[in-house]
Chains A and B, each alone.
Chain A
Amino acid sequence: MKQGNFIDNLPKIYGIYTGGFIGFIIIMAIAEQMGMTAKAIGIAFVAFTVFIYALIGYLSRTAQADAYYVAGRQVPTVFNGMATAADWMSGASFVAMAGGIYFKGYGYMALLVGWTGGYVLVASLLAPYLRKFGCYTVPDFIGTRYGGNLARFSAVVVLTVASFTYVTAQINATGTIASVALDIPFQYAVYIGLISILLCSMLGGMRGVTWTQVAQYIVLIIAYLLPVFWISNKMGAGFFPHFMLADEVARIGELESQFGFVKNSAADLATVPKGLAGITKAHSAVNATPWAFISLALAMMMGTASLPHVMMRYFTTPSVKAARKSVGWSLFFIFLLYSSAPMLATLSKLSLIDPTLSTGIIGKSIAEVQAIDWYQNWNQANLMFISDFNGNGTVELNEFFMGGKAVVLATPEIAGLPYVISGLVAAGGMAAAMSTADGLILAIANAISHDVYYKIIDPKAETAKRLVVARVLLVVIGFAGATIAAMEIQGILGSVIWAFDFAMSGLFFPLVLGVWWKRANRQGAIAGMLGGLAAGTWYLVWVRTGGSGFLGITQLTFGIFGSAVSLVAMVVVSLMTQEPDKATQKMVDEVRVPSGKTILGKQ
């Protein structure tokens, strides 16, 4: 594949690809009409898309370090935006977010604000400067800016803790979707998911991951938006749901006050299968204190700016200018999905709880609901449950329970859309989880192969040997992640949020101050990274083991405490020790202007 031509032809290539994918959806729709079974459609969707990604991964194979680590630094702005959006939007965004909003309403939407607002920090504080630096990995920046192996190694430690926490959740998500779509046990599905993930990244490194992520973005955004628009139109809620659901939101509020939020007794709740929840919070009313909302949003924003798998996407743009613009495009592509999630939650909730709609189940008799096809399917999958707590024979608001995943996965079926849409949604969820897992595994493997192996252990290693080490690590880390995922220790969403907190605890201030504060030195940075990570981890363990916490910081926002400790440690230690030498200060000056060669390119 000739690179120059390939870059120029990108719009055409992905245009054909998108057309082909839509063609595939239509073929599946026709096949469904002709009697293809739901199960076969699900398998076809997942198998077909994963095959395409693997093909792209194979075509992107490379033996050059620059292509392997930073895709040759020639990814155009808009395409890098799409790749970042796919990298960013994980199984949690795709499968769990609408569900979270469905159950928790406003308080949960702090995540929407946090996971988008963080990009303003990325664009203004970090991405362009790190691009100018010309590093391969985030620890590469820390190691060169502050100097010394200990600083570099500390950054690798923080990166590994944060990214590994994140990646187990993503492999878990690919496993969940593969096990539903292919109808195989979760323990095996996890490894099928892992192999699909490795097929994209093994041969081509960052180059392979970049071009598969663009392809995955296209699949996941079609899979998310198509059902939202379709359901909205089918329900007569409005042609363009984002602008037209005000009446539906108001109607939900009306129904909520009509039904009331009845609190279930602990004994009743104990009969509900694990992981399912009922509607206990108002949909659109402000149901969280300002601090609860803001602290969660803030933690997610600072975490965004510290997560290495996102940051390293901006190392692949052709210039500093392009890196800035690319952040804007990334957020635009993310915005398309995130602004739709609350709309999906609204449509899903209304279609289930409004007694005047044919799909509504509240107020119907228990036996009647139990006879509905989709209820039986999702009940079997352990994602839906009703129980007649008060014994009056009809389903009440507090007697209906659903898994968070079911909102995205089951709503098309509930609304009566053809099964082809459910197959499409499964493919979209798979794309979302795979693309994020790829980015994360690559971030860890690259940091260890480049920063630990090449920069610390064997600086004379040849490129071929370095790339072999990188690939071996990729497989090892992938399998470690899958093994932990197969144990199913924590839920998808909780561990994703933890990853943000770990990242911000250890990396936010060392990264930002590395550019914005010349006086920051090695000792300070090491204290900031290790102190922040240790403080954050301590707080998490303390709260998890029954500690009361303080200042309203919960186990979901422990990064606020961690990063505060990190900031104080970094400033105090920096000021107590010698200021960085002249060469380092000059380096910082050069990072601050876009023109000229990259810092590492000069050495």
Chain B
Amino acid sequence: MSNQEKHWEKSRGLLMITLAIWFIFSIGIFLFGAEMNKVTGPFGYPWTYWFTCQGSLGAFVILIFWFANRQEKIDEEFGFSEREDE
């Protein structure tokens, strides 16, 4: 397998993990919204309510920065990162 194929395979793996985490916070939680809302969540808000107005939103922000860093590492590993002067 060429260098480029390996790079793409790893990038695709990262995409799958990213989308899985995205799925949990954007869809997974809300499949059980009614049940989970009975539980007291962070800062004393009902659990599902908190995720809809803060938790999931914050998780997405962190997820994107995490993804960007991981992808940069992958690019560096295979020598595909951009030179600074480009």
Contact = CB atoms under 8 A, between A and B. Distances in A.
Interface of A: 101, 106, 109-110, 112-114, 116-117, 119-121, 123-125, 128, 242-247, 249-250, 284-286, 288, 290, 293-294, 297-298, 301, 319-321, 324-325, 327-328, 331-332, 335, 338-339, 341-343, 589, 592-595
Nearest to B5: A589
Contacts of B27: 294, 297-298
The 5 nearest A-B residue pairs measured at CB: A246-B44, A342-B53, A324-B68, A117-B26, A328-B64
Interface residues of B, number: 45
Given A116-B56, A243-B43, A124 B18 contact: yes
B19 A331 contact: no
Interface string B40-82: 0001111011001110111011011101100110010001111
Contacts of A246: 43-45
Given A120-B64, A594-B81, A286 B57 contact: no
Contacts of A244: 43
Nearest to A593: B80
A116 to B, nearest CB: 5
B83 A595 contact: yes
A125 B15 contact: yes
Given A120-B64, A123-B68, A342-B53, A113 B26 contact: yes
Contact of A331 (B34, B54, B61, B81): B61
Instruction: Decide if the interface of chain A is mainly helix, strand, loop or mixed.
Output: helix
Contact of A339 (B33, B48, B57): B57
A301 B57 contact: no
24 contacts: A110-B30, A113-B52, A113-B57, A117-B26, A120-B22, A124-B18, A124-B19, A124-B67, A128-B71, A285-B37, A290-B33, A294-B30, A297-B26, A301-B26, A319-B82, A321-B82, A324-B72, A325-B65, A335-B58, A339-B57, A343-B53, A589-B4, A592-B8, A593-B75
Contact of A592 (B11, B31, B32, B61): B11
B58 A339 contact: yes
Contacts of B30: 110, 113, 290, 293-294, 297
A128 B18 CA distance: 15
A335 B57 contact: yes
B65 A290 contact: no
A328 B57 CA distance: 12
A304 to B, nearest CB: 11
Given A321-B75, A327-B64, A335-B61, 15 more contacts: A112-B53, A116-B61, A117-B22, A117-B26, A120-B26, A124-B15, A288-B33, A290-B30, A294-B27, A324-B71, A328-B61, A335-B58, A594-B75, A594-B80, A595-B86
Contact of A286 (B15, B34, B44, B58): B34
Contacts of B37: 284-286
Given A294-B31, A321-B82, A339-B54, A120 B18 contact: yes
Contact of B7 (A114, A284, A285, A593): A593
A328 B61 CA distance: 6
Contacts of B25: 117
